[in-house]
Amino acid sequence: MEKRGSFGTRLGIILATAGSAVGLGNVWRFPFMTGQNGGASFILVYLLFVLLLGIPGMLSEFIIGRHSQANAARAYGHMAGGKRLWRLVGMLGILTSTVILGFYAVVAGWCLQYLLASLMGSLNGDVAYVHDYFISFSSHPWKPCVWAVLFVLITHFVIVRGVQKGIERASKLLMPLLFVLLVTIVVASCLLPGAIDGIEFLLKPDFTKLNHSTLLEALGQAFFSLSLGTCCLCTYASYFSRDTNLLKSATQIALIDTGIAILAGLMIFPAAFSVGVKPDSGPSLIFITLPNVFQQAFGAMPVVGYVIGILFYALLVFAALTSTISMHEIGTAFFTEELRQPRRRAAWVLTLVCSVIAVFCSLSMGAVDGISLFGLSLMDFCDYITAQVMLPLGAFLTSLFVGWFVDQKLLFDEFTNQGTVSVSFFRAYQFAVRFIVPFCILLIFLHQFGVI
């Protein structure tokens, strides 16, 4: 059997894990969710969820992964003292991340196409033109499929290089690059005339816009954005070193993730408001509403508009890649260790499965009729079922598991690195995983299914 990988440095740990968290969830999903749910008030609820549920949830996965140093299914089984039933929670996570990788690769593939199109200057035109461009591209029978599969393949080639040479190296390169691009566009966007309205929309809460669906969406978004409930964090933590401070790492990663989501809002809304575009157009925001926003906004300086457009899609591609790498790794680690296959072969299994899901998701966008489930296109169904059912369910079960089933001495030792760090926070964490996290998720679930 191959030697198990591990991250080489503390910076590598933070950048790789933050790379998993920071993705299209921040730059695509967060802005459109915020736009649809009334701006600042949505963000406040979101922040509350990150603090109350997100950080404890991340810690639980870190503890399970680092303690067991194994793939997700084995890690849960090991932590449960060999009780095989708990392996199922790990398997649920692996299934969830595989489905997410399938539909996520489709959106990531669109970003590749838009990067190329902005380089060639072919996104110039009026609103109707950009709208038709998106519709005809996304419902094309093979073009978006090719891009999606290409994206899975790029991910594959990073993964087969291993934990340190593949994942860690890619994250150390892509994350700083992403940050520089983001800040550049934020500055350009906030300097536009009328940008202040967009900033206000993002930062001034209007509580009349809050309702129960906002809560549910904010919860799903918090889980999705922190990569929680998929065992992704558990798998990455299995490559952490024994002296990594888990509380500090979880807090730093949550801060980076949230900071980048808010910066993404500051990149998009000021530019959108400056040209009078409404931010509530939903998932197509960055593909229909935005392509010509930069061109229009920098109308007096077309070169700037052109360059910013390119940087924007390059940023999306980098953000997506660090996340798809993490989703791929969960399944690859599982197949490598459970089927005792070389990493290379295990990675191909996952690449193949995800490519098939991606192709079907892509075709369900209009190319082929009838690829739908429960009245939703396969693409929307995968997004819904993962973000609003599977992720919260994974986090719920994980929380019950560590709060009530795992030996609490072991939990304490792992949380505090054998009593050497963060000791005074242990009780608060224990309270959160025993009561707050399961209770909040349960409440929202009951509400979602109409019980209360």
The footprint of ligand PHE (CB under 6 A) covers 20-21, 23-26, 97, 100, 224-225, 227, 230, 232, 323, 326-327
Closer CB to ligand PHE, 79 or 107, in the complex = 107
Find, among 438, 10, 44, 339, the residue nearest to 207 by Cα: 44
CA–CA gap between residue 253 and residue 238 (Å, rounded): 16
Q: How far is the CB of 20 from ligand PHE (least distance, A)?
A: 5
Q: How far is the CB of 443 from ligand PHE (least distance, A)?
A: 23
SS3 of 232, please?
A: helix
Q: How far is the CB of 438 from ligand PHE (least distance, A)?
A: 20
Q: How far is the CB of 111 from ligand PHE (least distance, A)?
A: 12
397, two tokens: 């079960």
CA–CA gap between residue 211 and residue 208 (Å, rounded): 8
> What's the residue count for the chain?
452
Closer CB to ligand PHE, 33 or 365, in the complex = 33
Closer CB to ligand PHE, 188 or 250, in the complex = 250
Closer CB to ligand PHE, 105 or 232, in the complex = 232
Closer CB to ligand PHE, 77 or 331, in the complex = 331
Q: Sort residue 193 into left (φ over 0), alpha (ψ -120 to 50) or beta.
A: beta
Supply the DSSP string of 295-337, one letter for each residue: HHHTTT-HHHHHHHHHHHHHHHHHHHHHHHHHHHHHHHHHHHH
Q: How far is the CB of 389 from ligand PHE (least distance, A)?
A: 14
Q: How far is the CB of 231 from ligand PHE (least distance, A)?
A: 9
87: Cβ contacts below 8 Å, ≥ 6 apart: 73, 74, 76, 77
- Looking at beta carbons, which residue is closest to ligand PHE? 25
Instruction: Report phi then psi at 59, rounded to 5.
Output: -60, -40
CA–CA gap between residue 293 and residue 356 (Å, rounded): 34
Closer CB to ligand PHE, 198 or 394, in the complex = 394
Q: How far is the CB of 393 from ligand PHE (least distance, A)?
A: 14
* Per-residue three-class SS string for 241-297: CCCCCHHHHHHHHHHHHHHHHHHHHHHHHHHHHHCCCCCCCHHHHHHHHCHHHHHHH
Closer CB to ligand PHE, 261 or 378, in the complex = 261
Closer CB to ligand PHE, 26 or 60, in the complex = 26
- Do 265 and 107 touch, CB atoms closer than 8 A? no
Q: How far is the CB of 297 from ligand PHE (least distance, A)?
A: 26
Instruction: Report phi then psi at 231, rounded to 5.
Output: 70, 10
Q: How far is the CB of 321 from ligand PHE (least distance, A)?
A: 11
- Do 365 and 144 touch, CB atoms closer than 8 A? yes
Closer CB to ligand PHE, 327 or 411, in the complex = 327
Q: How far is the CB of 93 from ligand PHE (least distance, A)?
A: 9
Find, among 263, 245, 187, the residue nearest to 30 by Cα: 263
- Do 214 and 38 touch, CB atoms closer than 8 A? yes
Closer CB to ligand PHE, 50 or 192, in the complex = 50
